[in-house]
Structure 1
Amino acid sequence: MLVLGLVAALVAAGANAGAALLEAMATRRATRAAGVLTSPMYLGGLLLDIAGWVLTVLALRYMPIVAVQAIVSGQVVITVIASHWVFDTPLRRVDLLAAGANVVGLGLLVGSAETGDLPHAGVGGTIALLAVLVVLAVVGIGTAVRSRRAVPVAFLAGLAFGGTAVAVRLLDLDGPFGEVLHTVLTDPVAWALLGYAALGLGLYTVALGRGTVGPVVAVLAVTETLAPGLLGLVLLGDSIRAGWVFGFVAGLVLALGGVVVLARSPAQASLAGDDGVARPPLKRV
């Protein structure tokens, strides 16, 4: 099942990258805000976002959290390369090196990490998950209201998105469809999952509105990978294969280092509309 999780994570990264490109193109081509929401490109991007989230949930059932989160954050690699073709943004030599480092790092992560049986939340785990959500919501909303800086808000958004990964690992989704649906509707862990996702999305939106996209994406990617990933290794049954500790650490450094460098690429400014270009034409029609 490791292969299924790996494929789901890779496709999720591709879906998220495609969504970012479609939504960016829709925003650039729209003449008014309302036109963006009804644009077929934008709606297609939203569908890809949903598909990416579903695939990420699937991947988290079969792979360690840190590996899944690192792979999905690799969408930055895809968007930078694709933005060069779509928006004609410059592709720096350091971008190519960072993309290569990310790929090597992901390979090491996948090869070194393994997961055991999925844990059961229990009453204590459920209470802890909900309590952390409440605390994070209070701190996050308070920071978003009082602070004008983007990085702290992005950090808290990363923690919230990391909470969704932990909730997925604790949610019991085994059994026929009827049982799964009943679990989703009645299990407090599922409610926590939705709460973490909503909080993360809200804080991420605020962070993007207050700062440049590069640092925000970099902080988000590192936080939502490391925080739940370390928790998975300590408490949720994830582990490192014998003799692969160095490979795991090297892979994590390379993968996240590549994302941080690429997050500051000119391509990210194009996706966010920060480069002053109103309607960049497609290089290839």
Structure 2
Amino acid sequence: MLVLGLAAALVAAAANAGAAMLEAMATRRATHAAGVVTSPLYLTGLTLDILGWVLTVLALRYMPIVAVQAIVSGQVVITVVASHWVFDTPLRRLDLIAAGANVVGLGLLVGSARTEELPHVGVGGTVALLAVLVVLAVVGILTALRSKHATLIAFLSGLAFGGTAVAVRLVDLDGSVGEIAHTVVTDPVAYALLGYAALGLGLYTVALARGAVGPVVAVLAVTETLAPGLLGLLLLGDGIRDGWGIPFVAGLVLALGGVVVLARSPAQASLAGDDGVARPPLKRL
């Protein structure tokens, strides 16, 4: 099942990257704000975003959290490289090195991954999950209202998105379609999952509005990978294969280091339109 999880995570990263590209195209072609959200390109991108989230949920059922989150954050690699061909955004030699480091790091992470049976959360675990959500929501909303530091808000957003990963590992989605539907409607963990996702999305939106996209994406990627990943290794049945401790750490450093470099690259800033110049035109379709 590790192969299924790996495939789902890789396709999720590609779907999220494709969504970013399509939404960027819609922004460039629209003549007014309302034209963006009604554009077929934007709506297709939104559909890919949803698909990416569903595939991420699937991957988290079969792979360690830290590996899944690192792979999905690799969408930055795809976006930066692909935007060079589509929008003629700048692509440095350092970006290519970072992309290669990310690929090598992901290979080491996947190779060192070991999964056990999914944990069965008790009442105490459910209460803790909900309590953390409430505290994080209060802190996050107050920070979003009062703070101008985009990276701090991005950090809290990363914690919230990390909470969704933990909730996915804890919610019981086994059984028939009817049993799964019943769980989604009645299980508090499922509601916690939706709460963490909504909070993370809201805080991420605020962070992007307050600061440059590069630092925001970098902080988000590192936080939503390390925070739930560590919890997964300690409490949720994730593990590292015997003798693979050093490759695991090296893979994590390479994968996240590559994402951080690429998130702060001129290509990412140009694609987001926050580099102080007009967004680049379409180069080719």
Shared fold by TM > 0.5?
Answer: yes
The code of the aligned residue for 2:7 comes to V
Partner of 1:105: 105
Partner of 2:130: 130
Task: Give ranges in structure 2 of 5+ residues lacking alignment.
Answer: none
Partner of 1:32: 32
Partner of 1:17: 17
Cα distance in 2 between the residues matched to 1:57 and 1:151? 26
Per the TM alignment, residue 281 of structure 1 is displaced from its structure 2 partner at its CA by 3.2
SS at match of 2:111: helix
Cα distance in 2 between the residues matched to 1:62 and 1:114? 10
Task: Give ranges in structure 1 of 5+ residues lacking alignment.
Answer: none
Deviations 1:26-66 (A, max 9, x none): 11221111111100010001000000000000000000000
Partner of 1:158: 158
Per the TM alignment, residue 261 of structure 1 is displaced from its structure 2 partner at its CA by 0.2
Cα distance in 1 between the residues matched to 2:190 and 2:270? 36
Per the TM alignment, residue 255 of structure 1 is displaced from its structure 2 partner at its CA by 0.2
The alignment yields a C-alpha RMSD, in angstroms, of 0.9
Partner of 2:184: 184
Count the aligned residue pairs. 285
Per the TM alignment, residue 277 of structure 1 is displaced from its structure 2 partner at its CA by 5.3
The answer as to 2:195 corresponding to 1:202 is no
The code of the aligned residue for 1:16 comes to N
SS at match of 1:119: coil
Per the TM alignment, residue 271 of structure 1 is displaced from its structure 2 partner at its CA by 2.5
Partner of 1:253: 253
Tell whether the 8 Å contact from 1:26 to 1:42 is kept in structure 2 after alignment: yes
Cα distance in 2 between the residues matched to 1:184 and 1:268? 37
Tell whether the 8 Å contact from 1:149 to 1:211 is kept in structure 2 after alignment: yes
Tell whether the 8 Å contact from 2:271 to 2:280 is kept in structure 1 after alignment: no
Deviations 1:144-182 (A, max 9, x none): 011011010000000000000000000100000000000
Cα distance in 2 between the residues matched to 1:276 and 1:282? 18
Cα distance in 2 between the residues matched to 1:271 and 1:133? 33
Cα distance in 1 between the residues matched to 2:262 and 2:145? 29
Deviations 1:56-79 (A, max 9, x none): 000000000000000000000000
The code of the aligned residue for 2:30 comes to A
Deviations 1:246-266 (A, max 9, x none): 000000000000000000111
Q: Which moved more, 1:29-38 or 1:165-174?
A: 29-38
Cα distance in 2 between the residues matched to 1:127 and 1:77? 37
Deviations 1:67-94 (A, max 9, x none): 0000000000000000101110111000
Cα distance in 2 between the residues matched to 1:204 and 1:35? 23
Tell whether the 8 Å contact from 1:101 to 1:255 is kept in structure 2 after alignment: yes
Tell whether the 8 Å contact from 1:60 to 1:168 is kept in structure 2 after alignment: yes
Per the TM alignment, residue 284 of structure 1 is displaced from its structure 2 partner at its CA by 1.9
Tell whether the 8 Å contact from 2:56 to 2:68 is kept in structure 1 after alignment: yes
Cα distance in 1 between the residues matched to 2:270 and 2:181? 40
Partner of 1:94: 94
Tell whether the 8 Å contact from 1:64 to 1:113 is kept in structure 2 after alignment: yes
The answer as to 2:172 corresponding to 1:172 is yes
* Identical positions, percent: 86
- TM-score, normalised via structure 2 length: 0.98
Cα distance in 1 between the residues matched to 2:88 and 2:37? 25
Partner of 1:120: 120
Which structure 2 residues correspond to residues 43-54 of structure 1 after superposition, within 5 A?
A: 43-54=43-54
Tell whether the 8 Å contact from 2:270 to 2:280 is kept in structure 1 after alignment: no
SS at match of 1:239: strand
Partner of 1:139: 139
Deviations 1:205-261 (A, max 9, x none): 000000000000000000000000000000000011000000000000000000000
